[in-house]
Amino acid sequence: MMEYDVTGPYQNYMQILKRNYEVYAKTGTSDWGDKGLEYGIPQGSVKDRWMVASTSQFTTAVWVGYDKASKDQISYITNDVSRMNLPGNVNSLILNELYRERAKPASVKQPSGVVSITHVLGVFPYVSPLADMNPSLVTTALIKKSFAQLGTLVPPALENPTSFDTTMIDSGSQKQFDFAFSAYPNPEALTIAPPTLDMELIVKDKTYTAVGTRLYDPSWIFGAVRYKVRLSIGSTVIAEFAESTNAFSKVVDVPPKSTVRVCGYFGYDSSGITSSEICKDIVVEDTQVNVPNNLTGHSYSVTRDFLASYGINDQVVTYTLPNTATSNQLGTVSLISPAIEGKKYTLTEFEALNIAVTVIDKSVDLNTEFIGKTQAQAEANKICGLITCTFETTVGTLITEVRVDGELVTDEDTYMLSALKPDGITLIIP
């Protein structure tokens, strides 16, 4: 470290000692505090400065300052005098004379009782880095061998929740769980620490503040503290959540007639270490299903979404286009079997039904229907009675192209009539 003071990349008074051999240095100061006020010395003024310089052969020390104050005389080191760097210049001159005719000194040899350790920066007692740890948080240094034992890096012990409550309400085939914790006692632990550190020193009712570089914070390794919840049925975990707020809601797919154990605890975002848990058992009753009485006559999407809200996605869908169908009926439900509308079921009963839905609609191959036909033939086609057919003609008599939303229809394309209803089709007669 003392060699780095001389050769390091930051500017200081010791860099004047830099040579083509190793030099080691240390500086220091003392100030008058408030004892010099009676002599007209400003409070906190520098009383003296010193510098020690060493090679492997010699050690020199230079002290510059005032051992006592004199009234009406400058008895402190001013900024101008500091900038002169008298201790550094004197030490530098001494080094020049010492090695004017001597050979360059060798570097100081590492004693056998001093060893190198690699440890986490900013943590004491020293601890070993974790695997794949950010290199910027790791440093290598020399230490007396008897103190070279490294500990294990662990996060701070977590506080324990003093309360945890949960309630459950139906949300279709799922359940909404509302969770509420006691607030974590240290709110700063709920966020990742910034790279800077605000510092404060109070001296005789005066506050001094500064901002420095934070060397280490547990949140950089183990993550922030989180409010965690685990839901289990028997030995099977069905859901786990971690949030930064102490009250939140989650929707979970839970089988009816089951008992859910809900446990709340504190834990780190990136570590398996947790606090003690508070657990509650919630009995899930069979969900009541109230089927609307107006599904038929409305868009199939209404029926589909209603069934999906209870986890039913395997209903049989049949498409049919009666001769009497109108444009407004395209895509609507004409029949549901069994007749479930307006009835009540338990979810268990509802899931056991084999539901079939009949929809007024048809899948059509537009090229087969219209290519090679005259405009009169196309107008007579039932499709043009249900959706808008626009004709673009020049001098020809037969349709050669069909377009949907400006795109050319190919022989591989098929369309549901209800999907064509909004914009219709364009028939080209060149």
The model's pLDDT over 169-209, given as tens digits with 9 standing for 90+, comes to 876 567 899 999 999 999 999 999 999 999 999 988 889 99
**What value does the mean pLDDT take over residues 79-95?**
95
- As given in the structure block, the two tokens for residue 365 are 């191959």
Q: What HEC string does 4-48 produce?
A: HHHHCCCCCHHHHHCCCCCCEEEEEEEECCCCCHHHCCCCCCEEE
Query: Which pTM was predicted?
Result: 0.57
- Neighbouring C-beta atoms of residue 363, cutoff 10 Å: 11
- Helix H or strand E segment including 298: none
C-beta of residue 69 within 8 angstroms of C-beta of residue 36:
yes
The model's pLDDT over 294-332, given as tens digits with 9 standing for 90+, comes to 999 999 999 999 999 888 999 999 999 999 999 999 999
DSSP 8-state symbol, 274: B
- Residue 171 pLDDT: 67
Contacts 24+ apart (CB under 8 A), 100-105: 102/57, 104/20, 104/21, 105/21, 105/22, 105/55, 105/56, 105/57, 105/58
The model's pLDDT over 3-17, given as tens digits with 9 standing for 90+, comes to 989 998 888 999 999
The model's pLDDT over 275-299, given as tens digits with 9 standing for 90+, comes to 999 999 998 887 788 999 999 999 9
- Residue 173 pLDDT: 61
- Neighbouring C-beta atoms of residue 42, cutoff 10 Å: 11
- As given in the structure block, the two tokens for residue 349 are 């009963």
The model's pLDDT over 36-75, given as tens digits with 9 standing for 90+, comes to 888 888 988 999 999 999 999 999 999 999 989 888 889 9
Separation CA 45–CA 55 (nearest Å):
32
Mean pLDDT of the chain: 93
Domain over 164-282 is classified CATH 1.10.3470: no
The terminus-to-terminus CA distance of the chain in angstroms comes to 89
Separation CA 153–CA 175 (nearest Å):
41
DSSP helix/strand/coil, 51? strand
Please say whether the dihedral angle defined by the alpha carbons of residues 375, 381, 384 and 387, taken in this order, is positive or negative: negative
Closest C-alpha to 182, from 165, 158, 205? 165
Separation CA 29–CA 328 (nearest Å):
93
- Residue 288 pLDDT: 83
Domain boundaries, the chain: 2-98, 114-152, 164-282, 288-360, 364-429
Q: How many residues are listed for the chain in this entry?
A: 430
- Helix H or strand E segment including 173: none
Separation CA 300–CA 317 (nearest Å):
10
- Neighbouring C-beta atoms of residue 57, cutoff 10 Å: 12
- Residue 310 pLDDT: 84
Percentage of the chain exceeding pLDDT 90: 83
DSSP helix/strand/coil, 197? strand
* Residue 301 to residues 147, 330, 332, 333, 341, Cα–Cα distance (Å): 73, 12, 8, 9, 16
CATH topology for 288-360? Answer: Trypsin Inhibitor V; Chain A (3.30.10)
